């Protein structure tokens, strides 16, 4: 069983009393930008797939499209696990990767804001080709913000295989086994944990330099 990595987290204030996230979790009370999610190839492919008329996955998709209060990455990851339990591993792989990229986009956007870079906060994310963090440009931005080389992390091999699996499902119609689906969900979990940890460290460093 894959444990739920994310939950509602405490708040904290910095040295001047201004509110800042104690840990890097997207706030549940704000509407997160839906541009990338709705435009992403993974999401568009997923929405073309037949969905059950009744049941949890269908309800979750409706909640997502209506900007539910639950952060997008967490809701998508819940859906991925449910799809895996429902013996739809291919859909689980695609949804898990969409969750990873949504979370990476939020992390990078918030870390840029923490640097107080002005107009560059909006420009830099738009220069990236995506948020899988598999391309050199995305890895360079992540390293600049966190000081970490994500491609050298212990989980990277499994994550790389997962992303390649996602591409095979979307572009070549790969028939995914339950074991492969479970491996992708596990890889997504490790991705979340790594990004959350490095995001928290980067946020702490930014506060100390103010």
Ranges of each domain in the chain: 53-208
User: Is the model's pLDDT at 156 over the cut of 70?
Assistant: yes
The residues that bridge with 21 in the sheet, in sequence order, are 11
Q: Count the Cβ atoms, other than its own, within 10 Å of residue 114.
A: 22
Fold of 53-208: 1.20.120
Q: Tell me phi and psi for residue 66, to 5 degrees.
A: -100, 20
Mean pLDDT throughout 200-209? 74
**The token pair that represents 186 in the structure block:** 């596990």
Q: b vs e for 131-152, b when ≥16 Cβ sit within 10 Å of the residue's Cβ? A: bbbbeeebbebbeebbebebbe
Measured N-to-C along each axis, helices 136-146 and 89-114 cross at an angle, to the nearest 10 degrees, of 50
Task: Considering only residues 103 and 33, tell me which one the structure prediction assigns the higher pLDDT.
Answer: 103
Q: Mind listing the pLDDT tens digit for each residue in 15-64?
A: 444 434 444 443 333 333 444 455 555 555 555 555 433 333 433 343 34
Please report where in the chains the tokens 């009393």 appear, as a residue: 17
pTM over 0.75? The answer is no
**The token pair that represents 86 in the structure block:** 């429902």
Between CA 202 and CA 138 the distance in angstroms is 16
């Amino acid at each position: 069983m894959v444990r739920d990595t994310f939950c509602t987290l405490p708040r904290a204030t910095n040295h001047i009393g201004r509110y800042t996230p104690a840990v890097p979790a997207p706030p549940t009370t704000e509407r997160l930008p839906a541009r990338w999610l709705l435009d992403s190839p993974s999401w568009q492919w997923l929405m073309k797939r037949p969905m059950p008329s009744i049941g949890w996955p269908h309800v979750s998709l409706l909640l997502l499209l209506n900007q539910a209060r639950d952060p997008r990455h967490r809701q998508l990851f819940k859906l991925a696990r449910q799809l895996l339990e429902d013996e739809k591993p291919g859909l689980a792989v695609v949804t898990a990767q969409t969750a990873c990229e949504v979370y990476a986009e939020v992390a990078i956007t918030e870390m840029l804001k923490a640097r107080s870079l002005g107009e560059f906060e909006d420009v830099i994310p738009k220069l990236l080709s995506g948020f899988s963090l598999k391309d050199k440009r995305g890895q360079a931005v992540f390293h600049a913000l966190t000081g970490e080389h994500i491609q050298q992390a212990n989980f990277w091999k499994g994550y790389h295989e997962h992303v390649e699996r996602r591409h095979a499902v979307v572009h070549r119609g790969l028939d995914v086994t339950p074991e492969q689906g479970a491996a992708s969900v596990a890889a997504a979990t490790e991705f979340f944990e790594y990004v959350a940890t490095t995001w928290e460290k980067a946020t702490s460093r930014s506060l100390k330099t103010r």
